[in-house]
């Protein structure tokens, strides 16, 4: 049975934690769609196109991973793609409360779509896109948090903003 999973997020920027979830999801599901949210309320550093391009480059070695974007309800997007699974990464207990609420709401809206939680690998449990942007903004090193290509793009964006 082929199972299509959607891994949604802002990915602003993509981190090693995100890539850990992509890698592990690619080994569990037949097809993984990494879906970049276009209608996020966050203050983003990168455009949707820039985030998608970074993710395409970072995941090109996975034959069953594709990069896309979506606007609106995640469950509507999942249905449109024929996906029955949403993958969410968890770093800490604090993530679980929000994700638990979202999983139940998604189940109410689309009973045929299940949410699968994956614990981010221990070495990535403290990484978030917001932390990466904050550290970089203050001139700190982000080498262990994001791939080199992402690091360069983050630093370039931050330098432009100053």
Residues 8-47 have pLDDT tens digits of: 999 999 999 999 999 999 999 999 999 999 976 778 999 9
Which one of 18, 31, 51, 133 is the catalytic residue?
18
What are the structural domains of the chain? 4-125 (3.40.50.620)
Mean pLDDT for the chain? Answer: 93
Share of residues in the chain with pLDDT > 90 (%): 81
Alpha-carbon Rg of the chain, whole angstroms? 15
Please tell me the predicted confidence (pLDDT) of residue 122.
85
Known catalytic residue: 10? no
Give me the residues of the chain with pLDDT under 50, please. none
Which one of 24, 79, 81, 91 is the catalytic residue?
91
Known catalytic residue: 42? yes
Please tell me the predicted confidence (pLDDT) of residue 71.
94
Please tell me the predicted confidence (pLDDT) of residue 120.
87
Q: Between the CA of residue 101 and those of 47, 95, 105, 107, 140, what are the distances in Å?
A: 28, 10, 6, 10, 34
């Amino acid at each position: 049975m082929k199972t299509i999973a959607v891994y949604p997020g802002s990915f602003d920027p993509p981190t090693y934690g995100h890539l850990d979830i992509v890698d592990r999801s690619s080994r569990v599901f037949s097809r993984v769609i990494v879906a970049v949210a276009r209608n996020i309320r966050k203050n983003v550093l990168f455009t949707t196109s820039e985030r998608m391009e970074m993710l395409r480059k970072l995941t090109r070695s996975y034959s069953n991973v594709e990069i896309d974007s979506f606007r609106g309800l995640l469950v509507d997007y999942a249905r449109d793609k024929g996906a029955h699974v949403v993958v969410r990464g968890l770093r800490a207990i604090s993530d679980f409360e929000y994700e638990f609420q979202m999983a139940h709401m998604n189940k109410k809206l689309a009973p045929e779509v299940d949410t699968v939680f994956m614990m981010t690998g221990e070495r990535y449990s403290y990484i978030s896109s917001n932390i990466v942007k904050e550290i970089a903004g203050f001139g700190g090193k982000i080498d262990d948090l994001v791939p080199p290509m992402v690091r360069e793009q983050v630093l370039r964006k931050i330098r432009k903003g100053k």
